[in-house]
Amino acid sequence: MDYKQYIEINPTIRFGKPCLKGTRISVYDVLSWLASGMSFEDILSDFPQLTKDQILACLGYSADKERRATVVV
């Protein structure tokens, strides 16, 4: 999954938070919905403009960000 085709960071949208292209829905929003127990189907029902690939892109973005995180001891 190449999440870069679905996610953009624009300083004029949601204060520069990573968002799904063409929307004001942030990666954080999608991850929060998933963490609260919403299924893909629930999210797609509530936000029909989204696709499964966009939700997967949010997960991919988060995984990549976690992989790049450094720990300072």
Model pLDDT, residue 41:
98
The DSSP annotation for 2-34 comes to -GGGTEEE-TTSGGG-EEETTSS-BHHHHHHHH
**What pLDDT digit, counting tens, does each position of 50-59 carry?**
999 999 999 9
The pTM is what? 0.89
Model pLDDT, residue 7:
98
Task: Report whether pLDDT(72) > 90.
Answer: no
Nearest to 54 by CA among 42, 66, 40: 40
pLDDT band at 37 (very low <50, low <70, confident <90, very high): very high
